[in-house]
Structure 1
Amino acid sequence: MTDRHDVQALSDVDIYVYEAVAAQTVESGGAWLDGLTHASGLSEEEVRESLATLIGHGYVVPQGDGYGLGPHTFEVEY
């Protein structure tokens, strides 16, 4: 994880997956790979790659079998 969060380092896909994680976390208390794949319409591989990037930046954190939001420095409207 990096010490400095830079949202500009994220791709459009990363932002889209982050928004899906945020929405599912608010609605269900967490996000899971199958739900993220279904909600985003992306392939499982694309979602996994994006999650790895988001986790590396600290925006998303693993929580058991799913994912939750890490500390963030920007807001998402959905």
Structure 2
Amino acid sequence: MHIQHDVQTMSTDDTTVYEAVAAVSTQRRAAHVADVVHMTGLPEETVRRSLAFLTENGWLKTRGGIYILGPHDWEVDY
């Protein structure tokens, strides 16, 4: 199954959170909520809401409180 995402459905906070997880993934590690809060400066509640949205829509995958990139159709350059 090929997933196609419409990035236009992402809010500014969602994009910021996604980019933080993507930046952590360039270091070949998964992101924790605390990492994303620290990197974005967003309130923890906002980060958790965005992580849930991004996970529900397949942009991120989660396991045991860590987040990694899900399949995507665009490139992220860092």
TM-score (norm 2): 0.87
Which runs of 5 or more structure 1 residues have no equivalent in the other structure? Answer: none
Name the counterpart of 2:55. Answer: 55
Could you tell me how far 1:27 is from its partner in structure 2?
1.4
SS of match in other structure, 1:39? helix
Name the counterpart of 2:65. Answer: 65
1:76 aligns with 2:76: yes
Could you tell me how far 1:39 is from its partner in structure 2?
0.4
Name the counterpart of 1:19. Answer: 19
Which runs of 5 or more structure 2 residues have no equivalent in the other structure? Answer: none
User: RMSD of the alignment, in Å?
Assistant: 1.4
User: What is the identity percentage for the equivalent residue pairs of Structure 1 and Structure 2?
Assistant: 46
TM-score (norm 1): 0.87
Could you tell me how far 1:4 is from its partner in structure 2?
4.2
Could you tell me how far 1:77 is from its partner in structure 2?
3.0
- Report how many residues are paired: 76
Which deviates more, 61-70 or 16-25? 61-70
